[in-house]
Structure 1
């Protein structure tokens, strides 16, 4: 039998081990998702370490945003579809594009959580460590012709994001001909629900920025451009024109 001092030592050591594991790359999702139910949808890994977007997006926000908030959308979507096997077999983009065909009893849950899963899955992919190049090639041409150039896009995008009342997103959409458009959506709605495709977008829910920026959403929107991964956005643009862009 352990003495009280021995037990205290073991508990402290175990807690330290857990903190170390959770703070490592890829372990946020594992730690938070350990007791979540399984289902057809899963939390994607971050394509970089949680601190890779510093100083513009802090590691704590990234860890909680990905491992807690996004995981909750995945978990709740799987729960909503637990008794709807045929719907659960659909690709995510098809599921949320066909909300009118989803039973009313779970439609709101699928809308909110399916939209949250889609939006965040896109979000992680279009960001990367600061210092990358700007838009190039066909993407730059499209931004210049459809959105008035990068500087005007950033100004209009930030203004749209600042005007979202409460929680929501601001997106740039792309059609099959490669034409771009700017749109904002409330909550976890996504242009995919209207049959459109998202080129990239920014999350303006408070959980995306409040720990670092508090109520200064405009500061967050301005800083966010430093972590846009234009190479990834360019690849999404090419896929959209080829008809292969999904989420």
Structure 2
């Protein structure tokens, strides 16, 4: 199922739309404020969508899904398509109520690859906190079926490396600077409290959202 797009009468996707958040603008407070969402989602995310539509209009890329754009484009088109994809995925991975620790297949995979959930959490938080500059921290399923933590620069996305994204944390400063200024580790702790592990589990099982 493709989300956040418009199609013409022939069913061909011609424009991309800003996704509708799966929660209210103030639902993540006090962890992430309404003001942050007004800028992060309402301005930054929206700007990527608008710029992407401008770049692909009238080109061979106009009918492609976000995932195909991430895999097949470079330069400004890639940057904006990937940032739309990454932000969509980030928002869907958050739950205002948080969720319990992973269970079932996801819990078993985490234990197998990282030793325990606590060890995984520590490694993920460290990777996100020490990522230099703008980018994203991901939990991915690699081509050989293992789970791994990966940092990506700027707009980079695991689809480029034939890996399956399971979870992402946005570590661009616009994700946290209003609420936490330069204290990225505090933001990461807040992010962790909001992770929707059911969303992560569905991605591992191949039943996640596609864009």
If the TM-score is normalised by the length of the shorter chain, which range does it land in?
A: 0.7 to 0.9
Query: Within the alignment, does 1:51 sit opposite 2:26 as a pair?
Result: yes
Mapped contact 1:61–1:208 kept (Cα < 8 A): yes
- Paired residues of 1:96 and 1:115 also in contact (CA < 8 A): yes
Contact 1:161–1:184 (Cα < 8 Å) also in 2: yes
Give the equivalent residue in structure 2 for 1:246. Answer: 210
Q: Indicate which of 55, 72, 78 corresponds to 1:80.
A: 55
The question of whether the paired residues in 2 share the 8 Å contact of 1:197 and 1:245 is answered with no
Q: Deviations over 1:91-131 (max 9, x none)?
A: 111121123xxxxxxx3111210110010010011101134
Structure-2-length-normalised TM-score:
0.88
Q: Does residue 91 of structure 1 match 2:70?
A: no
CA deviation vs aligned residue, 1:209-235 (integer Å, no higher than 9, x gap): 011110000111122111001112111
**SS across alignment from 2:148:** strand
Aligned residues: 198
Distance 2:77 2:164 in 1: 18
CA distance in 2, matches of 1:178, 1:66: 32
Question: Conserved in 1, the CA contact under 8 Å of 2:98 and 2:196?
Answer: no
Q: Which residue is equivalent to 1:138?
A: 105
1:170 aligns with 2:137: yes
* Pair 1:62 & 2:37 matched: yes
Larger Rg: 1
Task: Name the structure where helix makes up a greater proportion of residues.
Answer: 1
- Higher RCO by CA contacts (8 Å cutoff, separation 6 or greater): 2
Give 3-state SS (helix, strand or coil) of 1:46's partner: coil
* Stretch deviating more after TM superposition (202-211 or 228-237): 228-237
Contact map agreement 1:40 1:88 (CA 8 A) in 2: yes
Report the TM-score when normalising by structure 1.
0.75
Gaps of 5+ in 2: 1-13
**1:83 Cα offset (Å):** 2.7
- Paired residue secondary structure (1:88): coil
Where has structure 1 moved over 6 Å in runs of 4 or more? none
Q: Is the 8 A contact 1:178 1:237 kept in 2?
A: no
